[in-house]
């Protein structure tokens, strides 16, 4: 109880509250702008946090993460252009509601459901993180290796449509992580005589490049796209009737979202789509879906925001990111000198509780900001793209540079951006690459330590039931895209 109170007290400083507010404001703004995403915003905000203390720095990023997920629903409802991928499912019913003059009702519902989903997941976060960290403390290098392999296998479904391409991108990210001096032997690997690469590739410029520059090049192809706008918006909180109708959906979706968020590498987008599908499956008014059903907003909104709290659980307890954005938050933790994982919970539990507190405050803040300023946020899409994206480039450039005051890092960012643009075009996700890059060192370290422990005997991995369990679910998760349809076909034939 004491660490919890200490953690919450750490946030009591007005400066920290101001930073959380800034995080929420930036999050809702970025979330509302089509093309700008939470991972991009968190990556761009990272350099600002260099000179901050760890608690306010991570609190601001966590607040941005929560608010960014909600922000996407504003433009999804008002202009049918989800500002962020997790809001895609919200547009299915949100926009039809807005078109029939119920934009305010839809926005109010989205805000309240998001907050309830967020709070639900934060309660789980509060309870599950110490427990998971306690379990993880028993892990030795082989168990950690198996866990990271499982996390990397989950990359297959993180984003994009192709599991295979995500796996390749993830493995490529891990390979990038091997650049620099080998820890055990001190041998230089893939440095090609470049001094700047001896300490490895800085992941901050890579993150900024992949998420910001890749998208900038993508936006250069769609300069003429215009959005149809719903103008008259009077936001109102859901009525008691509405709330009664969606309360079961909120609860169900919050559970789904939290669970999906906890799974390594799964994120808010998957949670939102599952939340929508389940809302439809359980609804008595299935025919209303796609035409403006309020459950169609409650389902994805509660789920996508619940995923944010859920995703923080493996990130902080295991050091395995629960989503693309938490991968960047993990990078921020490393940047601020923390070692994410069970030791974080054991040594500085108040820090974890401070993050919990920041996310809780952020949820209430974005409810207020969302309700009061939705009309304003819908107008930010009026910012000309011809000025918005040059600004993003300026922030990216200076963000990549400021990490170690090196122009080389700006080049790394640019190359990562070009590669990211081409990768996205061919169906490779940026998020798996980032997660691979961040997890790369952990995978190699745990594999090397295991091999040393086992005298180079691979079979000894199977002596641990935890390792066997992780390997089994890894094989299942990788094989499911092929096994699933096969089982369904066999069942259909049997029937």
Tell me how far CA of residue 240 lies from CA of 109, 236, 259, 301, in angstroms: 11, 12, 28, 18
Q: Which residue has the tokens 């902080």?
A: 316
Quickly count: other Cβ atoms within 10 Å of residue 192's Cβ.
Answer: 7
Q: Return the residues of window 300-329 that contact other proteins according to CB under 8 A.
A: none
How large is the C-alpha radius of gyration of the chain? 22
Among 5, 9, 137, 223, interactor with other proteins by CB under 8 A: 223
Binds other proteins (CB under 8 A): choice among 4, 48, 53, 288: 48
Q: Pick the binder of other proteins from 12, 226, 459, 492 (CB under 8 A).
A: 492
Query: At 263, phi and psi to the nearest 5?
Result: -60, 130
Q: Which of 138, 231, 232, 386 binds other proteins (CB under 8 A)?
A: 386
Site string for other proteins, 82-121 (x = CB under 8 A): ----------------------------------------
| Rama region for 337: left / alpha / beta (φ>0; ψ in -120 to 50; rest) | left
5 touching other proteins, by CB under 8 A: no
Give CA–CA dist 76/92, Å, rounded.
8
We find the least distance from the C-beta atom of residue 407 to other proteins, in angstroms, to be 6
* 483 near other proteins, rule: CB under 8 A: no
Q: How far is the CB of 376 from other proteins (least distance, A)?
A: 20
Residue 165 CA, distance from chain mean position: 19
Closest CB 217 distance from other proteins, rounded Å: 5
Q: How many CA atoms lie within 13 A of 445 on its CB side?
A: 11
In this structure, is the dihedral angle defined by the CA atoms of residues 294, 300, 305 and 309, taken in order, positive or negative? positive
In this chain, which of 134, 198, 220, 285 binds other proteins, going by CB under 8 A? 220
Does residue 47 interact with other proteins by CB under 8 A? yes
109 burial class (0-12, 13-18, 19+ CB within 10 angstroms)?
A: buried
- Bridge partners of residue 180, in order along the sequence: 189
Instruction: Tell me the closest approach of the beta carbon of residue 485 to other proteins, in angstroms.
Output: 7
Of 492, 61, 37, 20, which Cα lies nearest the Cα of 304?
Answer: 37
Q: Which is nearer to other proteins, 313 or 424 (CB)?
A: 424
Residue 485 in contact with other proteins, rule: CB under 8 A: yes
| Residues 436 and 176 sit within 8 Å (Cβ to Cβ) | yes
**Interface with other proteins, residue 451, by CB under 8 A:** yes
Instruction: Say how far apart CA 455 and CA 440 lie, in whole Å.
Output: 22
Minimum CB separation of residue 82 from other proteins in Å reads 17
* Chain centre to alpha carbon of residue 154: 14
Does 6 help bind other proteins (rule: CB under 8 A)? no
Contacts with other proteins: how many residues (CB under 8 A)? 65
With contacts defined by CB under 8 A, name the span among 43-51, 126-134, 225-233, 289-297 that binds other proteins. 43-51
Q: Which of residues 95, 144, 395, 471 is near other proteins by CB under 8 A?
A: 395
Q: Does 455 bind other proteins (CB under 8 A)?
A: yes
Residue 174, judged by CB atoms within 10 A of its CB (0-12, 13-18, 19+), counts as buried
What tokens were used for 98? 């807005």
* Piece of the chain touching other proteins by CB under 8 A; list 106-114, 232-240, 358-366, 379-387: 379-387
Which residues lie closer than 8 Å to 399 by C-beta, 6 or more apart? 43, 44, 46, 47, 204, 208
What x/- string results for residues 189 through 208 when contact with other proteins is judged by CB under 8 A? Answer: xx------------------
Binding-residue pattern over the window 401 to 430 for other proteins, x denoting contact by CB under 8 A: xx--x-x--xx--x--xx--x--xxxx---
Helix 295-317 × helix 349-379 angle, to 10°: 150
Among 472, 481, 486, 490, binds other proteins (CB under 8 A): 481
Burial 119-135 (b: 16+ CB within 10 A, else e): bbbbebbbebbbebbee
Among 302, 444, 471, 477, the residue binding other proteins under the rule CB under 8 A is 444
Residues sharing a CB contact under 8 Å with residue 39, sequence separation 6 or more, in sequence order: 207, 211, 324, 325, 327, 328, 430, 431, 434
Of 43 and 313, which CB lies nearer to other proteins in the complex structure? 43
Interacting residues toward other proteins by CB under 8 A? 47-48, 50-51, 161-162, 164-165, 167-168, 171-172, 174-175, 178, 182, 184-185, 187-190, 213, 216-217, 220-221, 223, 384-387, 389-391, 393-395, 397-398, 401-402, 405, 407, 410-411, 414, 417-418, 421, 424-427, 444, 447-448, 451-452, 455-456, 481-482, 485, 492
């Amino acid at each position: 109880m004491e660490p919890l109170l200490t953690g919450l007290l750490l946030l009591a400083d007005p400066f920290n509250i101001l930073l959380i507010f800034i995080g929420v404001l930036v999050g809702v703004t970025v979330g509302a702008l089509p093309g700008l995403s939470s991972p991009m915003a968190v990556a761009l905000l990272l350099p600002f946090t260099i000179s901050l203390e760890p608690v306010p720095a991570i609190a601001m990023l966590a607040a941005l993460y929560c608010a960014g997920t909600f922000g996407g629903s504003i433009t999804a409802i008002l202009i049918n252009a989800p500002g962020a991928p997790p809001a895609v499912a919200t547009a299915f019913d949100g926009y039809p509601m807005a078109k029939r003059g119920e934009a305010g009702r839809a926005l109010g519902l989205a805000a309240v459901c998001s907050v309830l989903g967020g709070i639900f997941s934060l309660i789980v976060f509060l309870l599950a993180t110490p427990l998971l960290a306690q379990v993880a403390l028993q892990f030795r290098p082989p168990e950690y290796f198996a866990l990271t392999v499982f996390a990397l296998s989950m990359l297959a479904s993180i984003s994009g449509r192709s599991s295979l391409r995500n796996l390749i991108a993830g493995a490529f990210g891990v390979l990038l992580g091997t650049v620099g001096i080998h820890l055990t032997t001190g041998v230089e690997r893939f440095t090609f005589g470049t001094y700047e690469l001896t300490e490895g590739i800085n992941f901050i410029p890579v993150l900024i490049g992949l998420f910001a520059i890749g998208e900038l090049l993508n936006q250069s192809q769609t300069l003429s796209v215009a959005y149809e706008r719903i103008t008259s918006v009077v936001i109102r909180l859901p009525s008691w009737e509405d709330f009664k109708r969606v309360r079961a959906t909120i609860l169900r979706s919050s559970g789904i979202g939290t669970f999906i968020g906890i799974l390594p590498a799964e994120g808010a987008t998957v949670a939102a789509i599952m939340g929508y599908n389940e809302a439809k499956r359980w609804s008595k008014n299935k025919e209303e879906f796609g035409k403006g059903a309020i459950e169609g907003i409650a389902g994805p909104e509660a789920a996508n925001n619940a995923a944010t709290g859920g995703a923080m659980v493996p990130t902080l307890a295991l050091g395995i990111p629960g989503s693309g954005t938490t991968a960047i938050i993990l990078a921020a933790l490393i940047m601020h000198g923390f070692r994410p994982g069970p030791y974080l919970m054991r040594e500085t539990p108040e820090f974890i509780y401070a993050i919990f507190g920041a996310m809780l405050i952020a949820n209430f803040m974005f409810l207020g900001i969302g309700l009061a300023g939705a009309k304003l946020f819908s107008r930010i899409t009026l910012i000309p793209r011809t000025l918005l994206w040059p600004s993003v480039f300026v922030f990216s450039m200076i963000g990549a540079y400021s990490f170690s005051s090196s122009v080389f890092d700006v080049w790394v960012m640019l190359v990562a951006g070009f590669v990211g643009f081409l990768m996205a075009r061919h169906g490779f996700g940026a998020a798996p690459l980032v997660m691979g890059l961040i997890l790369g060192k952990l995978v190699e370290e745990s594999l090397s330590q295991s091999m040393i422990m086992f005298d180079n005997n691979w079979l000894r991995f199977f002596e641990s039931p935890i390792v066997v369990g992780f390997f089994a679910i890894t094989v299942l998760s990788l094989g499911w895209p092929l096994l699933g349809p096969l089982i369904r076909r066999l069942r259909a034939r049997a029937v």
